[in-house]
Every structure is written in C-alpha cells, then in structure tokens.
Amino acid sequence: MLFHTNWQIKESGILVLGAIAEGCSYGLAPHLPDLVDYLIKCLNDKKPLVRSITCWTLSRYSSWIVHNEVQEAACSAFATLEEEACIQMVPYLKQILETLVHAFRKYQAKNLLILYDAIGTLADSVGSHLNRPDYIQLLMPPLIERWNLLRNDDKDLFPLLECLSSIATALQTGFLPYCEPVFGRCILLVQQTLEASGPDTPPDKDFMIVALDLLSGLTEGLGK
C-alpha cells in the first residue's frame, strides 16, 4: 500500500501507519528509522492529501523522534563532528546556530548540559568566524537568559560557564557587550567561595576553577 502508484491507496496506507502507532509501537520500533525516512519523503508528494495525512502520521511517532536519548545521542554526535570538521562548518554556521538555539527551547536537564558542550565545541572549532553580529544575536540571548536564571550555588552553572568561556574566546571583541556582567559575576563567585571556606571547610574549588577559566577566556578573547 505504501508504495502503490494509486495515490489514494498510498494515502490509506499512511493513514493505517498513524492509526496503529500507539498499539503497535513496540513491534514497529525496529522499522521506525526506515518508516520515518519514508514519511519525510512523502511530505514532498504532489498530492496535498498525501502530504496532509503524512503530517498527522509523523505526529503519532513524535515521542519516538524526540526521545531524550535520541536528543542526547544526536547532540553528542554533532559535537564529535564539530571537533573533526572545524572550519569546514563555517559555511553552515547560520543553520547550525538556528538549530542549536531551537534545541535550547526544547532540551531540559541532562540534555541541556550536553547542548552547552556542543555550543562550546562549535566555538572552539570555528573560532573568530563566530564573531558576526547576526550570529551573536542568535546565540547570546538564550545563553544570557539561562545565565540570569541560575543561582550562584547552582551546579548547572558549571557547564554554562565553560560554554561561555569558549564563546568569549571565539567572539573576541564581539563579546564586549556582555563583559561587564560576566566579569562581575565571576569575581563574585570567587569571592563567595573564599568567604565560605574556613579552617575546617576547604573552598569549593569547582566554582573557583570554572569562574577563573571564564575570566581567562574573556581576557584571551579581548586580547586578540
């Protein structure tokens, strides 16, 4: 049915795929990579009704497509690609940044931490090619929004600080609008860590290290 030359029969087959999605999800799981690939191609069908039912059927498998483990694997794989491709990714930076920013609105908890790593790796890989006003305007607002939401004692601040360190180095003078608040908070983190320590309570070095790393990235970027 799915490959029938009669578009109405093909449409019926796609409808059946959507109808059985919930009850047959376990049995269909091994075939989903091929089925989803087929359905995506059907979105270009010349018949509007085929395209319409394909959209509905894809929505029935959305939980499989956006599963947390899939997000994690995709993000990790992309970070590896960034390390290997380096400046070969420059022609595609706009699309990459748009996708990463979109993921920012979707990812939560552990996957958000992996996303920070992917963004930081991108900055390390393409360097100053990231220093363009349109790229900065895409990338920085969601990061700064997250920066403002996290408390100074929140462990989720660690990966964000590491990410910003790579970005500050890559953006160079493009990071200037964000220097003052970032510098001030890093100094505050170091100060609070030292003040919280005592004779029997050593300082939490993790906070100090990531804050000092970001200050180092800031200095390196502005010095170029």
Q: Does 93 lie in the same domain as 16?
A: no
- 2: in domain: no
Tokens 């920070």 sit on residue: 116
Q: Does 128 lie in the same domain as 41?
A: no
- In tens, the pLDDT along 52-98 reads 999 999 888 877 776 777 788 888 888 999 999 999 999 999 999 99
Q: Does 92 lie in the same domain as 32?
A: no
Higher pLDDT, 76 or 130: 130
Confidence class for position 224, pLDDT limits 50, 70, 90: low
| pLDDT for res 2 | 82
Higher pLDDT, 1 or 125: 125
Q: Does 210 lie in the same domain as 153?
A: yes
Q: Does 81 lie in the same domain as 40?
A: no
Confidence class for position 122, pLDDT limits 50, 70, 90: very high
Q: Does 179 lie in the same domain as 131?
A: yes
- In tens, the pLDDT along 167-201 reads 999 999 999 999 999 999 999 988 888 887 777 77
Last residue of a domain, one of 33, 65, 97: 65
Q: Does 117 lie in the same domain as 175?
A: yes
Q: Does 144 lie in the same domain as 98?
A: yes
Asked whether residue 50 carries a pLDDT value surpassing 90, the answer given is yes
Please tell me the distance from the alpha carbon of residue 102 to that of residue 140, in angstroms, as a whole number: 13
Please tell me the distance from the alpha carbon of residue 167 to that of residue 161, in angstroms, as a whole number: 10
Q: Does 87 lie in the same domain as 16?
A: no
Please tell me the distance from the alpha carbon of residue 179 to that of residue 182, in angstroms, as a whole number: 5
Q: Does 139 lie in the same domain as 217?
A: yes
- Amino acid (one-letter) located at 111: N
Residue 110: domain span? 68-223
Q: Does 140 lie in the same domain as 164?
A: yes
Last residue of a domain, one of 65, 80, 100: 65
pTM to 2 decimal places: 0.72
